[in-house]
Every structure is written in structure tokens, then in C-alpha cells.
Amino acid sequence: MQPFLWLTKLPKKKLHYVLVAAAVLLCAAGILKWKEHSHPQPVTQDIPFVRTAVIGADAPPQGYTYSGEVRGRYESQLAFQVTGKIIKRNVQLGSSVNAGDILMQIDPRDLQQTVNSSSAQVYSAESQLKLAESNLHRYQQLYTQNAISRAQLDQYENAYEVAQAAVRQASSQYAQGSNQLDYSLLYADKSGVISSLSAEAGQVVSAGQTVMTIVQDGEREVEISVPENRIEELRKSTRLTVSFWALPNMKVDGKVREIAPMADPTTRTYKVRISLVNPPPEIKLGMTAAVHVVGFDGQTPGFTTIPLSAIYQTNDTPNVWIVTDQVVHLRTIQIGSFGNTQVQVLSGLNLGETIVTAGVHKLREGQTVRAKGGDSQ
């Protein structure tokens, strides 16, 4: 307070003037301060960064991929032609066999007894034939001597013909029994690889029951299952590429060879066989394969894929943010199937357009943004 002691020494009139002047100065300073704060300050607009992607024509072609298995062009299911008990199996799963190799054998004892019985019947019929032939010659001489009637001779001629028929019948039964004895051995009719076994030694099997499958040497192809809504697209495809899980650096061209006429009753999908064009020897039966459909009639399929993070959902409608001159606009799209991180877009996007792939939930219509990134989709 000492700096202000001089005020107490002033006359009252001068003190009044001093106080009035101080009040005026304070009011002027307050007015200036109020005017300074009353003027609006310029607002700095916050322009957010967003990650974008370009729907470009130079993007890799999109398509469908189907998993499958390497199979043989020709597969034969082998079975015995007679009923019996399997006593020997000479092959293992995956064994390579040649035409004429014995694969399995069933117990031939009953069949051998049938052959022995048929053989005895043949000997009996031949003996009856010899007797009938001797009688016929004898009675023919008696007939020439007019010792017997024509009716008696006809009886012996008929007996001779019956004996001949009995021999033929017994011989046929013997041949049939011999064939069945031979059927106790299961032969490989073609060279190939054993792909499946469904019977073991000691098992009783019936005639026609499949006991193994052999894949013939030669062409290789891939079997895939295709849903019914993709059959026509696959039928019209002009280019297929096949890759293999065990051979990551190998891709082989393929072509549709066969489409099943009916869907599988369980999976409701159609079996499709894809022929491999010039397959390398490294491709083995049973390998896991992926068939990629990359074009229909020389054109890429009518859809592209975008990241799931680019989808902005309003109620049940999927949308994306389109960036035009650094301004975003919301557009409705039609989507297809989903992947792990991607989704198919069937319509609503054009080549060359830029979409926002991150930060879509922080944007509003007509907002200015700054793009960050620009990967092609």
C-alpha cells in the first residue's frame, strides 16, 4: 500500500480528478477487451484421413474357387462273380498292379466239389450215349432184316438223341462249374492303382459285392462339387486353373469334362469332373486341389470383391462411401457371398471408382476427406 500513500497527501479536489481519470481508463480498457472477444474467431475444419481403394481394371480377375480331389479318369469297382469266403488278399491300399494280377481269392472248396460233380455227370452221360449208340446200330441191322418194326427202331433212335442231349447238358454244367471255380480268383483287368478296399480276408461276400476299387493308369482329373446356381457359369467358363495344396508353386489348366445330370441327394450339389491338361507326374491320386474359375466366355465374372470394412450398413441395406473430388457420397450396393475378410459386390460399383475401406462409420454425406492409401480391388 505504500506506493499509493501519496494519494492521501493530495487535496481532495485533485484526488477526485485522479480517481475519475483512473475510472475512465479502466472503462476504456474493459471496452477494448470486450470488443476483442466479441468478434468471432475463424473455425478450423477438421478434415479426417480415410483409407481408400480403387476399383481398377488392372486388378486380378475375380472368380469362384472350388475344392476337390485328384481322381482317375477311369475307376473300376471290382467284385467276385460268385459267393464265398475271402481267404487271401494280395494287395494293399495304394498298390500298383498290372493287368492279370491276382488281387483276392475266395475259398474254392465248394466250387471244386461242384466241378467234380459235374465231371461225374459228364462221364455218366457219355456212357449212356455209348449204350444208346450200340443199341441203335444193333436194331438198325435187325430192321434191315425185317426182324423188327419201324416203330421199334424209332424208339432207339430217339433214345440215342436223348443221350446226345444229356451229354451236351452235362458238358455245359461242367464248363459252368469250371468257370465258377476260376471266378474264385479276382484278377486285375487293367493296370492301375488300388484306391480303396472294402473287404478283408475272412469276410464272406456275395456275388457282385464291391470289394475294391482300381484306378486305371492314364488320365487324371479333379472332382469338385458345385451348387446348382453356379452350374451354368461353370459350363460357360473358358478358363480354369487348378492348384494343389501339396504343390504350392504348381498350377495346371483344366477344362470341364463332365457335369452330373442330378444333384447329390445329401449335399444338393452337382459332381463335376475337371480334366487336367498335360498334368505333371508330381500330381498323385487323392491330392487336395482347388479349381479356380477365372472367366466366362473370355470375360471376367460380373462382380468384384471389396474388404468387409468398406461396408456401411443402414438398416438392412449395404452401402459404401464413394470418394469424388475428396468428397464422400453414400451409395447402395448389392452384395453376394462373404469370405473371411472380403465380400462380393454384384452391382453398384464401376471400374475406376474410389471407395473408403476404413473409417466408414465416422463419415457423413458430403464430408470432405483426405485419402490415405489406394489399393486396387
Please give the single-letter amino acid code of residue 70.
V
Checking if the pLDDT of 62 tops 70, the result is no
Average pLDDT for residues 145-173, to the nearest whole number? 90
Q: Strands 102-106 and 84-89: what pairing?
A: antiparallel
What 3-state class would DSSP assign to 206? coil
Checking if the pLDDT of 300 tops 80, the result is no
Tell me the per-residue pLDDT of 186-242, one tens digit each, with 9 for 90 and over.
999 888 888 889 989 999 999 989 999 998 887 888 999 988 888 887 887 777 889
Tell me the per-residue pLDDT of 18-58, one tens digit each, with 9 for 90 and over.
666 666 677 666 666 665 555 555 545 567 778 888 876 44
Separation between Cα atoms, residue 133 and residue 289, nearest integer Å: 73
Task: Give percent of the chain with pLDDT exceeding 70.
Answer: 81
Spatial contact of 283 and 70, defined as CB atoms under 8 Å apart: yes
Of 99-108, 152-161, 298-307, the least confident: 298-307
The pLDDT score that the predictor gives to residue 56 is 65
Checking if the pLDDT of 299 tops 60, the result is no
Estimate the crossing angle of helix 109-144 against helix 150-182, to 10 degrees.
Answer: 160
Of 6-10, 345-349, 352-356, the least confident: 6-10
* Longest distance between any two alpha carbons in the chain, whole Å: 199
Domains of the chain, start order: 51-60+304-376 (2.40.420.20), 64-72+218-296 (2.40.30.170), 75-106+186-214 (2.40.50.100), 109-182 (1.10.287.470)
Separation between Cα atoms, residue 207 and residue 82, nearest integer Å: 4
Separation between Cα atoms, residue 253 and residue 191, nearest integer Å: 26
Sequence-distant (≥ 6) Cβ neighbours of residue 144 within 8 angstroms: none
Element (H, E) at 258: strand 247-259
What 3-state class would DSSP assign to 275? strand
Separation between Cα atoms, residue 114 and residue 122, nearest integer Å: 12
